[in-house]
Structure 1
């Protein structure tokens, strides 16, 4: 089958109830498939030495292999240095395996590479700008959950235009990675658990104006949130478990998921500061929010998760919250909320979790709570 251009054996996984539980070793010899452009073996329950698998790939000259997907398998061993010979590669996906490599500089030689996925394998060492010096086409990069240290100068301008950037659990701090400011086309940014102990830079809102998914949680970001975030395109924002202080400014109006929990935030400014009626999840627990829950919360009619626990909120709950028919998770514990058991909860028939403990509610539990 030497004319074969695409070979897709992906998603051939076994059912634990009907299979003997054995993974499959890659025994195919593909060296003579000189026209092969795409090889997709994602989630095929392959195991064995990744170097041996690479030896079985087409080694013709010129090599035409453009897409290699080996993700979600049980491949082990060390990534071979001669991977840099596959110069036609555009997509390389090795994520979710047990592949090791110290300082994988060979991948940086793949000048045509647009998508690089090395999520959750066993890489270690230090990544510098030299690793990406030849990566002129790179748009998608995921190095998350590896023992990597990212040491790139703030002045360095990448040779490519990055759009999807994920370095979760890679060590990038303590300073905020300034080299990201040259990537104004980023739409997905995950630098969570990256050891960043710095304030949010002034260029933040402008540079990341196109980002729709942002996760910078579990760092040590300090001081206040930028006042000009309202103009950003964010749909999902995760900044939990930092050391952010001050008031919550006006945030993007398209937000659907917002998590600012476990910070030192004091409260809200204005009446529509934290998103639009499209908000699905709002997590502000473990801050220093005080005062009444504002009536403006009632506009979040599609809200499914509301967590305001462990703050300093007081007063009665706004009765207009009864319009939140999609609500499934309500956590308001450890505040100073008061009044009778909120009768509007009778309308929220989809609620599966309700925590009103450690407040100042009074009176009797209503009869309808059992139905």
Structure 2
């Protein structure tokens, strides 16, 4: 017994010694993770080169309580060395929409961040300075995003040495305005390349360069004015078959320049966007070999015919976007081809907007995964099929610009709690919705123009406080606008109440704060003085009313 007690005491004593020895090390570790003085000063020098009108970097400072740069907005440090490894000052979509971004120049003080691996300065305005050569000297950098706002310049020479570079996004930055892309071919570890909205008209070697990037997973060359690929060159280059996301949209490429290359690496493609090109004829059968495809966009081409039957057996297909083509045939036939196999279970988005498709809406009740359904601007007719009311995941429903007839009641929407966008305009529809109806959804976009809804102002709109776009023009309202309407949503940027018989006085409209707001209240019976108007409107139509003063 005494032996066991001795062993226990010995164990406790040894544990105490170990803990005592570890204690200062933990304290040292805590000191290491704090911001390194030299790097804090480098970041503050970088801040001084910027114009921060909206306090984006208000957490950055040298005063007490702000000295730990590892806690600053956009800064992340290594837990072991304390070196800054991430600087992410990307402007959020919300801030970017309100032009709350950084301006100024990119200071070479960033060179002192020797451990920097991730640099994202996208969606800011550095238009007054060139892309610094020093960025290419950040030897540990693996991720660079300078998209949307970076100034014009040629690619810095030191990029040639960054063979470990993995992510390179300079979308809409004019980084390459002319000439060869040969220097990019040395980035042997590159996995993501985005040169969207950069003029590559004279970059005739773009295809050859891309073919040498064997680690590439994502290639985005949207709106680059790409020169056509010479078909005789396609077989001379071992194009990477690792590519999973490919976006060549808006380059006016002909079918002959795209299909031979595309179908040579088709089995690995997950996301493919060939919209806004010059693809002609019917949809090629070769697409059926893209067995992993999740998203396919062939929008705004010149494709004809219908939807091939093989699409019904593409089990991974989530989103199929074919708007603004010349597709034709009965909608029931097209839907039958899509529902003949496993695609009926996987499809979440179907866009056939602005084609030449005819007939009524068939039963879509089996497409229970659908979140987006866009059938607007075709030649569809008949009543709205009740099967749509069972699509409980639906977020966007577009049926506008057709010849639908009949009555839609609130029971049609009873299962659509996820609906955010509803477009029924320019049909011959009647909406019968009770005065005290409380919808299950919260809409952001609503267009009911030329539907029959009057004579009372739709009271159910009072429940929709997230609207950013509202068009209830020409719906037969003969009423005044209730006071609650003008407080409905401060995010509203599009409002069309025109061609009704709405009377009364307008309140102070200057309280509508959205940038570039569009307001049309023409052809009504508003009277009294014209109130204060939004200073930031891009379109304002008050004509054909009874204003005085």
**Partners of 2:521 and 2:404 in 1: CA distance:** 26
CA contact (8 A) 2:168 2:190 kept: no
Match of 1:217 among 361, 366, 376: 376
Q: Secondary structure at the match of 2:422?
A: strand
Match of 2:313 among 151, 155, 158: 158
**Partners of 1:51 and 1:163 in 2: CA distance:** 34
**Partners of 2:378 and 2:439 in 1: CA distance:** 23
Q: Secondary structure at the match of 2:394?
A: coil
Q: Partner residue of 2:350?
A: 189
Q: Which has the higher strand share?
A: 1
CA contact (8 A) 1:300 1:324 kept: yes
Q: Partner residue of 2:273?
A: 117
Which stretch of the first structure deviates more once superposed, 148-157 or 209-218?
A: 148-157
Mapping for residues 346-361 of structure 1, pairs under 5 Å: 346=508, 349-350=511-512, 354-360=519-525
Question: How far does residue 154 in structure 1 lie from its aligned partner after superposition?
Answer: 4.8
CA contact (8 A) 2:306 2:329 kept: no
Mapping for residues 1-371 of structure 1, pairs under 5 Å: 4=163, 7-11=166-170, 14=173, 22-28=177-183, 30=185, 36=189, 38=191, 40-43=193-196, 45=198, 47-48=200-201, 52-58=205-211, 65-78=216-229, 80=231, 82=235, 86-102=240-256, 104=259, 107-109=262-264, 110-128=266-284, 130-149=285-304, 151-154=306-309, 157-176=312-331, 177-178=334-335, 179-181=337-339, 182-203=343-364, 205-207=365-367, 209-231=368-390, 232-249=392-409, 250-251=412-413, 252-270=416-434, 275-276=439-440, 278-326=442-490, 327-338=492-503, 340-341=504-505, 345-346=507-508, 349-350=511-512, 354-360=519-525, 364-365=527-528, 369-370=531-532
CA contact (8 A) 1:337 1:360 kept: yes
**Partners of 1:329 and 1:304 in 2: CA distance:** 7
Structure 1: unaligned runs, 5 residues or longer: none
Question: How far does residue 307 in structure 1 lie from its aligned partner after superposition?
Answer: 1.9
Structure 2: unaligned runs, 5 residues or longer: 1-159, 534-549
User: Structure 1 pair 317/119, CA: closer, same or farther in 2 (3 Å)?
Assistant: same
CA contact (8 A) 1:23 1:45 kept: no
**Partners of 2:373 and 2:230 in 1: CA distance:** 30
User: Structure 1 pair 50/264, CA: closer, same or farther in 2 (3 Å)?
Assistant: farther
- With structure 1 as the length reference, what TM-score do the two structures score? 0.78
Question: How far does residue 170 in structure 1 lie from its aligned partner after superposition?
Answer: 2.3
State the superposition RMSD in angstroms.
3.7
CA contact (8 A) 1:10 1:44 kept: no
The aligned length equals 354
Question: How far does residue 171 in structure 1 lie from its aligned partner after superposition?
Answer: 2.5
Question: How far does residue 202 in structure 1 lie from its aligned partner after superposition?
Answer: 0.6
**Partners of 1:247 and 1:193 in 2: CA distance:** 24
Question: How far does residue 221 in structure 1 lie from its aligned partner after superposition?
Answer: 2.0
**Partners of 2:473 and 2:201 in 1: CA distance:** 48
- Per-residue CA deviation, residues 110-152 of structure 1 (Å, 9 max, x unaligned), is 2121111212223223214x22231111111111112222543
CA contact (8 A) 2:347 2:370 kept: yes
Which stretch of the first structure deviates more once superposed, 172-181 or 310-319?
A: 310-319
Could you say which structure has the larger radius of gyration?
Answer: 2
- Per-residue CA deviation, residues 313-367 of structure 1 (Å, 9 max, x unaligned), is 33344454354142554422222345x336xx45883175554443355xx5158
Q: Partner residue of 2:152?
A: none
User: Structure 1 pair 228/341, CA: closer, same or farther in 2 (3 Å)?
Assistant: farther
Q: Secondary structure at the match of 1:258?
A: strand
CA contact (8 A) 1:248 1:273 kept: no
**Partners of 1:356 and 1:58 in 2: CA distance:** 55
**Partners of 1:287 and 1:300 in 2: CA distance:** 19
User: Structure 1 pair 354/72, CA: closer, same or farther in 2 (3 Å)?
Assistant: closer
